[in-house]
A and B are shown apart, each in its own frame.
Chain A
Amino acid sequence: MPDAREVPVGPEVRQPVVTPVRVVVALCLVAPFVAMLWVSSYAKADPAFIGIPFFYWYQMLWVLISTALTMIAYTLFQREQRARKAARAEGGARS
Chain B
Amino acid sequence: MNDGVNGVALGVFVFFFLAVTVMGFLAARWRKAENEHSLDEWGLGGRSFGTWVTWFLLGGDLYTAYTFVAVPAAIYAAGAAGFFAVPYTILVYPLIFTFLPRLWSVSHKHGYVTTSDFVRGRFGSKGLSLAVAVTGILATMPYIALQLVGIQAVLDVMGVGGGEDTNWFVKDLPLLIAFGVLAAYTYSSGLRAPALIAFVKDTLIYIVIVVAIIYIPIKLGGFDDIFHAANEKFSATNEATGKPVGALVPGDAGTWTYATLALGSALALFMYPHSITATLSSRSRDVIRRNTTILPLYSLMLGLLALLGFMAIAAGVKVQNGQLAIPQLFEDMFPDWFTGVAFAAIGIGALVPAAIMSIAAANLFTRNIYKDFIKPDATPEQETKVSKLVSLLVKVGALVFVLGMDKTVAINFQLLGGIWILQTMPALVGGLFTRWFHRWALLAGWAVGMAYGTIAAYGVASPTQKHFGGSSDEIPGIGEIGYIGLTAFVLNVVVTVVLTVVLKALKAPEGVDETSPGDYTADAGDKGVSVELPKVGAGH
Contacts and interface: CB of A to CB of B under 8 A. Distances in A.
- Whether A and B are associated in the same complex: the answer reads yes
Contact of A62 (B90, B226, B254): B90
Contacts of A43: 80, 249-251, 254-255, 258
A74 B289 contact: yes
Contact of A56 (B90, B98, B251, B307): B307
A66 B222 contact: no
A18 interface: no
Contact of A53 (B86, B249, B259, B290): B249
Contacts of B87: 36-37, 59, 62
Interface string B255-292: 11011001100000000000000000000001001101
Interface stretch (B60-68, B204-212, B293-301, B458-466): B293-301
A29 B255 contact: no
B174 interface: no
A5 B97 CA distance: 30
B45 to A, nearest CB: 24
Contacts of B225: 51
B252 interface: yes
Given A5-B527, A50-B223, A51-B227, A67 B518 contact: no
B65 to A, nearest CB: 21
Interface string A70-84: 110110011000000
A48 B226 CA distance: 13
B397 interface: no
A61 to B, nearest CB: 10
Interface string B74-102: 00000010010011011101100110000
B111 interface: no
Contact of A36 (B90, B252, B300): B90
A64 B300 contact: yes
B94 A45 contact: no
B248 interface: yes
A30 B263 CA distance: 13
B519 to A, nearest CB: 11
B431 interface: no
A45 B304 CA distance: 17
Per DSSP, chain B at the interface is: helix
A10 B87 CA distance: 40
A70 B293 contact: yes
A86 interface: no
A70 B224 contact: no
A89 interface: no
Interface residues of B, number: 43
Given A55-B249, A56-B83, A37 B263 contact: yes
A77 B86 contact: no
B50 interface: no
A40 interface: yes
Given A5-B527, A33-B91, A63 B296 contact: yes
Contacts of A60: 86, 300, 303-304
B292 A74 contact: yes
Contacts of B91: 32-33, 36
Nearest to B306: A56
Nearest to A84: B521
A70 B300 contact: no
Nearest to A44: B249
A67 B86 contact: no
Interface string B296-318: 11011001100100000000000
Given A40-B252, A64-B300, A74-B290, A52 B94 contact: no
Contacts of B251: 43
A32 to B, nearest CB: 5
28 contacts: A9-B518, A29-B97, A32-B90, A36-B259, A37-B262, A39-B254, A39-B256, A39-B258, A43-B249, A43-B250, A45-B249, A51-B222, A51-B226, A51-B227, A52-B307, A53-B248, A55-B83, A59-B83, A59-B303, A60-B86, A60-B303, A63-B86, A63-B89, A63-B299, A66-B93, A67-B297, A70-B296, A78-B289
Please provide the 4 A-B residue pairs with the shortest distance between their CB atoms, ordered closest to farther. A51-B223, A51-B224, A39-B255, A36-B87
Interface of A: 5, 9-10, 28-30, 32-33, 36-40, 43-45, 48, 50-53, 55-56, 59-60, 62-64, 66-67, 69-71, 73-74, 77-78
